[in-house]
Amino acid sequence: MGTRCRLAPHPGSGRDEVGKVVLVTGVARPLGGRFVRRLLREPGVSGVVGVDTRPPAHRLDGARFVQTDIRQPAIGKVLAEHAVDTVVHMDLHGTPLTPGGGGRGAVKETNVIGTMQLLGACQKAPSVSRLVIKSTTSVYGSAPRDPAVFDETTPVRSLPGGGFAKDAVEIEGYVRGFARRRPDVAVTVLRFAHILGPAAESPLAEYFSLPVLPTVLGYDPRLQFVHDDDVIEVLRLAAGEPRAGTLTAGTFNIAGDGVLLLSQCARRLGRPTVPMLMPAIRWGSGVLRSVGVTDFSAEQLRLLTHGRVVRTEHARDVLGFTPRRTTAQTLDAFARSRGSGLLPPGKVAHAVDRFAALLPGKPGRPAGEGAATRRERAEVRQDG
Amino acid sequence: MGDAKVIPFDDDRDRSRGAAPAGQSRTGQRARRRGARTGQSAPLTTVPGQQGPGGPGEGDGPGKGGAGPSEAAEDRHGAEQRFGDADGAGSRGEGPASGGEDAAAEGALGGLVARLLGDDWEDRAARGLAFLRRRVTGEYEVDDFGYDRELTDQVLMSLLRPVFEKYFRVEVRGIENIPADGAALVVANHSGTLPLDGLMLQVAVHDHHPADRRLRLLGADLVFVLPLVNELARKAGHTLACAEDAQTLLGRGEVVGVMPEGFKGLGKPFADRYKLQRFGRGGFVSTALRTGAPIVPCSIVGAEEIYPMIGNSRTLARLFGFPYFPLTPTFPWLGPLGAVPLPTKWTIQFGEPLPTDDYPPEAADDPMLMFNLTDQVRETIQHTLYKLLVRRRSVFF
């Protein structure tokens, strides 16, 4: 693979003198692909190497794609061969790459063994000076006995017992070990809230796409979302040189401003909810899983019971990152991309307005208010 | 102890309002109090407007809703408002019809009222529908803790207000001890088997504070484990009693309420009524010191007798995972009927705030100071409890 010059998006620039080479894992996923394309436009980046087990369906423009499995030691050779400076590890997922591709066991192996292998390779590669890990806020778990708002230093009282959250906890442990062994490498751990957006496929996005949302009776969890664009932006920020007055090394919570309750999300998405008793949900999710309709993991169930909110001040103050979209705007964008549900909020609101118009006196006031609200929303959509 | 005879206590300082002669009817007293309160607060706040479309506790007497300066016009509006309350959306049309001949007065008042309360004084139905519209479309805001201010103000408080005003007839004293702005930590005694005292405390601050403050209560973790209870508690602005949450809320300048006795106070036997239990480890003091928030001691009289707990079934408590399982003269013998609290007469007294901002920052880690301040707060509450008990005529009146 002696074709280094092909890495350079601008053939004129000699990449050995200026610019960095960034290795990105998990580029076969839409989010990884988008991040690679964004990186190529960065001025300080001379080359991008994308790694995944399967060729991506989308284009990677000028990036070099290397089909390899990060669970194999071959990843070390890739690092050495391309003299990689920055590693962005995005291949941490709760769901398999291909639908039905290997199930939970394979996902866990890619997450945990893949990360271990990648960290081992990074440790052996002297050229690596920066490591960015895409983690998740589910490392905090969700339990009723935890504080309502987590920050990066909150001691977690009940660690996640399984699933992707447990993978993420273990991975972060390995990353901390790596940071101790290679203090010269700037390590950034970005804990993302639920990523929603056109490119994101996450269990929660899948859940919100159900026509009717089963919820846990007597619980209305608080949720936070972060938009694809903000994910790309903060990853780019973390992969680059820190700007003046900011620091990229460290652990940061990344979430859109504001909080939505699940009931609010359902209404905004126009999807009716079916509150169910906890035992019924456990049983029902087992049935659904065996039929293969949806994967309602225990971890997700806990989230939909107790919810989770993180504080994002640290990312704002230290990393210098402010998400462009709030939680509500992210959900709005997601709602538009998924189409309306059975009870579109516009129609429901219209029904209320019609009823209001039936009342004598001051006609149209609520409707006028409604129009104002709609206008506001439209504005939000435009700038969102 | 407890049910002492009337002993005139001339501490006028405490009776900042509502110091009515004994002969006067309670209704009149309450109306005057309300009038005084809203009269003070009218230029500043939107209290009556925020009490929402479904304020059934509002129409409680001839003197209700003393918000406006013009008494006659105000009565008419009060009546109109009661119609709106009684019939919900349907009776909205009666407002303009009844106001025909006083259009001018109403116009003048309407302008004033519109300025005071927003433009939603007359058509409460339209307001109700606008509220409904926001609810069904999810276009409302909650904070990080899940506090749904709109729902709390318009629905939850309206549901609790009749209990507060009619059932327990709570007398609130010294509410001005809660500062008009900035953080404060209200520390209260806890009693009554079920934490109704916390809810009444919340209504007291919500309805009676001149600066329109909201109380954010800290609850035991059991509250956030139970289905439905946790959902309502979060929406009402309560959060888990832990240092992190308390500090965050105080840091935002909220009024935070805490009952440091916890289950020890809530589930104590009837024989121990009005004897304060240990105040935990005094964590509330260090949280207040860290944020510099004043501590407002608060004594609640009346809650002890709502469910006289004469026994505790440890077996049942273990079975359900509760800290105690109360046996009262009526519960569980009468089934659900036994769960109806006794209609005792309550007094909530807020004491002088204890400033904490003149201590050095490292004071929060000084255990000796912690214990001293904790004891000081505890003693204040205990003494006020005794004073209020001596002053009380009977448990029920």
Q: Is B220 on the interface with A (CB under 8 A)?
A: no
Nearest Cα to A265, choosing from A194, A316, A217, A332?
A332
List, in order, residues 6 or more apart from B184 with CB less than 8 Å away: B178, B255, B256, B293, B294, B295, B296, B353
Q: Is B20 on the interface with A (CB under 8 A)?
A: no
Q: Is A180 on the interface with B (CB under 8 A)?
A: no
* Chain B residue numbers touching A356 (CB-CB < 8 A): 126, 129-130, 133
Range with lowest mean pLDDT among A12-16, A213-217, B269-273: A12-16
Looking at CA atoms only, how far is residue A364 from chain B in angstroms?
Answer: 10
Rounded Cα distance between B239 and B147, Å, is 9
Residue pair A173/A181 in contact (Cβ under 8 Å)? The answer is no
- The residue behind tokens 């979430």 is A255
Q: Which residues is A150 bridged to in the sheet?
A: A310
Nearest Cα to B351, choosing from B170, B186, B217?
B186
Rounded Cα distance between A304 and A298, Å, is 10
* Chain A residue numbers touching B133 (CB-CB < 8 A): 349, 352-353, 356, 366, 369-370
A236 confidence band (pLDDT: 50, 70, 90): very high
Q: Which residue of A has its CA nearest to B133?
A: A349
Cα within 13 Å of Cα(B13), Cβ side:
5
Nearest Cα to A88, choosing from A232, A264, A193, A274?
A232
Nearest Cα to A128, choosing from A78, A87, A174, A175?
A87
- CB distance A352–B143 less than 8 Å? no
Q: Which residue of A has its CA nearest to B148?
A: A261
Residue pair A287/A214 in contact (Cβ under 8 Å)? The answer is no
- CB distance A352–B136 less than 8 Å? yes
Chunked into runs of 10 residues, chain B (397 residues) has average pLDDT values of 43 42 43 43 41 39 38 40 38 39 53 57 75 88 93 93 95 95 95 93 95 94 91 94 92 94 90 90 90 95 92 90 89 87 94 92 87 93 95 90
- Predicted pLDDT of residue B166: 93
Residue pair B167/B344 in contact (Cβ under 8 Å)? The answer is no
Residue pair B35/B60 in contact (Cβ under 8 Å)? The answer is no
Query: Using CA of residue A274, residue A279, residue A282, residue A285, what is the dihedral sign?
Result: negative
Percent of residues, chain A, with pLDDT higher than 90: 42
- CB distance B142–A366 less than 8 Å? no
| Among candidates B132, B148, B242 on the partner chain, residue whose Cβ is nearest the Cβ of A147 | B242
Rounded Cα distance between B303 and B349, Å, is 13
| Among candidates A261, A266, A353 on the partner chain, residue whose Cβ is nearest the Cβ of B142 | A261
Query: Using CA of residue A229, residue A235, residue A240, residue A244, what is the dihedral sign?
Result: positive
- Predicted pLDDT of residue B380: 95
Q: Is B357 on the interface with A (CB under 8 A)?
A: no
| Among candidates A149, A265, A353 on the partner chain, residue whose Cβ is nearest the Cβ of B248 | A149
pLDDT at A324 over 90: yes
Q: Is A264 on the interface with B (CB under 8 A)?
A: yes
* Chain B residue numbers touching A361 (CB-CB < 8 A): 92-93, 95-96, 123
**C-alpha torsion angle, residues A24, A26, A32, A37 (rounded to 10):** 50
List, in order, residues 6 or more apart from B44 with CB less than 8 Å away: B210, B211, B212
Residue pair A254/A234 in contact (Cβ under 8 Å)? The answer is yes
Lookup: tokens for A297: 């993991």
Q: Is A42 on the interface with B (CB under 8 A)?
A: no
Rounded Cα distance between A277 and B171, Å, is 41
pLDDT at A291 over 70: no
Residues A367, B131, B181: CA angle, nearest 5 degrees: 125
pLDDT in tens, B163-189: 999 999 999 999 999 999 999 999 999
Best B244, B245, B248, B250 residue to mutate vs chain A (most A CBs within 10 Å): B244
pLDDT at A380 over 50: no
Mean pLDDT for A255-260 is 94
| Among candidates B130, B138, B227 on the partner chain, residue whose Cβ is nearest the Cβ of A219 | B227
- Predicted pLDDT of residue A180: 95
List, in order, residues 6 or more apart from B104 with CB less than 8 Å away: none
The whole-chain average pLDDT of chain A stands at: 82
Lookup: tokens for B98: 């009844």
H or E stretch including A170? helix A163-181
Q: Is A348 on the interface with B (CB under 8 A)?
A: yes
Q: Is B129 on the interface with A (CB under 8 A)?
A: yes
Residue pair B218/B210 in contact (Cβ under 8 Å)? The answer is no
A264 confidence band (pLDDT: 50, 70, 90): very high
Residue pair B262/B247 in contact (Cβ under 8 Å)? The answer is no
Best B144, B147, B228, B238 residue to mutate vs chain A (most A CBs within 10 Å): B144
Mean pLDDT for A114-122 is 94
Residue A185 vs residue B97, higher pLDDT: A185
Q: Which residue of A has its CA nearest to B235?
A: A220
Best B91, B129, B228, B245 residue to mutate vs chain A (most A CBs within 10 Å): B129
- CB distance A218–B231 less than 8 Å? yes
Nearest Cα to B239, choosing from A35, A189, A222?
A222
- Predicted pLDDT of residue B111: 63
- Predicted pLDDT of residue B114: 59
H or E stretch including B298? strand B295-301
Nearest Cα to B350, choosing from B104, B175, B142?
B175
Q: Is A357 on the interface with B (CB under 8 A)?
A: no
Residue B10 vs residue A330, higher pLDDT: A330
pLDDT in tens, B275-332: 999 888 888 999 999 999 999 999 999 999 999 988 898 899 999 888 999 998 888 8
pLDDT in tens, A29-38: 888 999 999 9
A18 confidence band (pLDDT: 50, 70, 90): low
Q: Which residues is A186 bridged to in the sheet?
A: A130
The dihedrals phi and psi of A186, each to the nearest 5 degrees, come to -80, 115
Mapped onto helix, strand or coil, the DSSP state of residue B168 is coil
Pairing status of strand A260-261 against strand A222-223? antiparallel
pLDDT at A114 over 60: yes
Q: Is A49 on the interface with B (CB under 8 A)?
A: no
Nearest Cα to A138, choosing from A170, A157, A166?
A166
- Predicted pLDDT of residue A101: 61
A232 confidence band (pLDDT: 50, 70, 90): very high
A203 confidence band (pLDDT: 50, 70, 90): confident
| DSSP label of B27 | H
How far is residue A13 from each of residues A45, A80, A263, measured CA to CA in Å? 11, 21, 53
pLDDT in tens, A134-179: 999 989 988 888 899 998 988 777 777 778 888 999 999 999 999 9
* Chain B residue numbers touching A310 (CB-CB < 8 A): none
Q: What is the pTM of this model?
A: 0.76
A246 confidence band (pLDDT: 50, 70, 90): confident
Rounded Cα distance between B150 and B295, Å, is 27
Q: Which residue of A has its CA nearest to B91?
A: A359
Lookup: tokens for A133: 């890990």
Best B133, B140, B230, B256 residue to mutate vs chain A (most A CBs within 10 Å): B133
Rounded Cα distance between B11 and A115, Å, is 71
Q: How many CB atoms lie within 10 A of CB A382?
A: 7
| Among candidates B129, B138, B144 on the partner chain, residue whose Cβ is nearest the Cβ of A148 | B144
Lookup: tokens for A375: 């206008």
- CB distance A216–B96 less than 8 Å? no
H or E stretch including B171? strand B171-173
Range with lowest mean pLDDT among A251-260, A262-271, A274-283, A356-365: A356-365
Residue pair B167/B67 in contact (Cβ under 8 Å)? The answer is no
Nearest Cα to B307, choosing from B256, B344, B252?
B344
Nearest Cα to B154, choosing from B46, B34, B254, B73?
B46
A348 confidence band (pLDDT: 50, 70, 90): confident
Range with lowest mean pLDDT among A228-242, A369-383, B332-346, B373-387: A369-383
Cα within 13 Å of Cα(B247), Cβ side:
15
